[in-house]
Amino acid sequence: MDHIGEQILIIFSVFLLIFSSSAANPTTPLNCTDTTRLCTSFIAFKPTAEQTLAVIQSMFDVLPQDIRIEGNGRNYIFIKKNCSCSSDLNEYLTSTTFTVRENNGSVYDMVMRAYDGLAYFSSNVTREARNGAVVSLKLMCGCSSGLWNYLMSYVMRDGDSIESLASRFGVSMDSIVTVNGIANPDNVTIGALYYIPLNSVPGEPYPLKNDTSPAPVPARSIDNFVVNHKPRVHYWWIIGSLVIGRYICCKSGELKQRNGESSNRQMNIPSVIGTDVFDVEKPVVFTYEEVLSSTDDFSDSNLLGNGTYGSVYYGLLRDQEVVIKRMKATKTKEFIAEMKVLCKVHHTNLVELIGYAASDDELFLIYEYAQKGSLRNHLHDPQNKGHTSLSWIMRVQIALDAAKGLEYIHEHTKPHYVHRDIKSSNILLDASFKAKISDFGLTKLVSRTNDGEASVTRVVGTYGYLAPEYLRDGLATNKSDVYAFGVVLFEIISGKEAMIKSTERRSLASIVVAALRNSPDSMSMSSLNDHIDPNLMDLYPHDCLYKLAMLAKQCVDDDPILRPDMKQVVISLSQILLSSIEWEATLAGNSQVFSGLVQGR
């Protein structure tokens, strides 16, 4: 071979080496042994001009508040993700989904290009990519051993060095070397993933649309994300209207109306309850005679249903439509538990407690009235119950509403609560189909333990919705509520009951999860088709239904550590809803598809 030929061969070999190291990630995830470990981690990502905010949110399953920008003339963003120790691989990984947007090459190549070395496949997925397919995958992340607060996944680029990264992120070179087990700090691999130890949250908050301050990065990157993200519909379809009850719980014990005027009616709390059960607010007290009159002496025509702890009636109380739960006085414990929660906790997606009443042998809780009844009645044989079937958009919106209510009691109340009886019959729908979680009689405070927040208790709830660890150990945690919510999502998809009655009773969750094992993406859903509600009449975006099914599957994982928290569920459902609305907008003129909007959504 001549000299020129040798040079060409050398140049080609170097080029091939550089290309292969940047196109495929030679790094393996961090090993771990504690499969109960869950932490906050960060991922450093340099988006392309085509990767808008909407695309990035979808790629990483996050909301804008989980995205931070680096600034200083760099186009990097830092994405906050929960990281956990995978029980089957014993590696630190975080889950996400990727939507294929073109028919060009294999899924593996497309994912590796999109995530630029951050994604991890346990095997090379060589199947061809198909536009619209949704792929579940893992991203590499890390949990600190305690020497630092966070670890950030970072793909080494040309020009990077351990010294430059240490200066850039304000950490010592030794700490980067230690975390990554680097033998020679002067020898790093371009295209490989390294972990940067951090003591503080990196970057600056993502600039909001109404923020008038200049964006701290070039317009080509971050500003481009904002400008290009223009949903074709108004956000009020998603948020819905805020429905406020006419009467509210108030500290004085008086009945207050919307205009703030006090009723001249003030009553003492019945002795069966006591005066020390309300830490914050005292509910409105009604007389037994008022309750009796409002329900036509508890006539059968006013009976709405029978629950675990009593009967539920419709009533017209002081010119307001209400629901009255009638309980025996022996159920004082459940009665007080529900009042203590609902007099502290107020959210548009939680049913509002208006007041209560008591007689010698009965207790009554008075709630706002949900005109459309329970989600269960709209999913399971709705026509025979006098209801029309719910459209796809309505189902996703209802799921998002309920998720927001559950997230609120898990994350935003002091103290935190676990509901313990999440099911479709306890998700009520108001006149505009806004969902509200109800029935807080089994709600428990959760206390902090070494394994997170938990409450050890006797097993209560409804079979089909009970998490395996709750059945086994009586350990009620936020993640046991997440499991139950996952079952509700399967009900929304399938229209079937949580327990399937056939020759043998099987849970809906086990049946659909088995079907999903044979559905690698949204284009290969034949095994899932038998479990999709025929009332949807194929009027749904297949990629969004697949994403919802995969979210439900994550929620009912046998390992509670691997289940998402409700914040993550809210994020995923928000993205599924936005995508569904955009899909629906392309089908204008189809009255069946737009049934959700016609009925107030």
Residue 347 phi, psi dihedral angles, 5° rounding: -155, 145
User: Considering only CA atoms, which of 234, 172, 219 is closest in space to residue 199?
Assistant: 172
Q: Which residues contact 270 (CB under 8 A, 6 or more apart)?
A: 285, 358
User: Considering only CA atoms, which of 361, 345, 487 is closest in space to residue 411?
Assistant: 345
User: Considering only CA atoms, which of 542, 563, 527, 565 is closest in space to residue 134?
Assistant: 542
Is 61 considered catalytic here? no
Element (H, E) at 320: strand 320-328
Grouping H, G, I as helix, E, B as strand and the rest as coil, residue 358 is: strand
User: Considering only CA atoms, which of 501, 471, 374 is closest in space to residue 429?
Assistant: 374
User: Considering only CA atoms, which of 460, 512, 477 is closest in space to residue 491?
Assistant: 512
Q: Which residues contact 169 (CB under 8 A, 6 or more apart)?
A: 152, 196, 198, 202
Following DSSP, what letter does each residue of 101-153 receive, concatenated? -S--SBHHHHHHHHHTT-EE-SS---SBP-TT-EEEEEEE-----SSSSEEEE
Q: 556-595: b or e for each residue (b if 16 or more CB lie within 10 Å)?
A: bbeebbbbbbbbbbbbbbbbbbbbbbebbeeeeeeeebbb
Helix, strand, coil shares of the chain as percentages rounded to 5? 35, 20, 45
48: tokens are 């392309």
DSSP 233: S
User: Considering only CA atoms, which of 332, 338, 334 is closest in space to residue 351?
Assistant: 338
If you count them, how many residues does the chain have? 601
Q: Is 98 exposed, middle or buried (0-12, 13-18, 19+ CB in 10 A)?
A: buried
Element (H, E) at 312: strand 310-317
Alpha carbon distances (Å) from 432 to 54, 199, 371, 373, 599? 28, 47, 9, 11, 7
Could you tell me if 154 and 193 are in contact, meaning their C-beta atoms sit under 8 angstroms apart? yes
Given the residues 421, 430, 533, 543, the one annotated as active site: 421
The reply, when asked if residue 404 is annotated as ligand binding, is no
User: Considering only CA atoms, which of 414, 410, 564 is closest in space to residue 476?
Assistant: 410
Which residues are part of the catalytic machinery? Answer: 421
Q: Which residues make up each annotated binding site for ATP?
A: 325
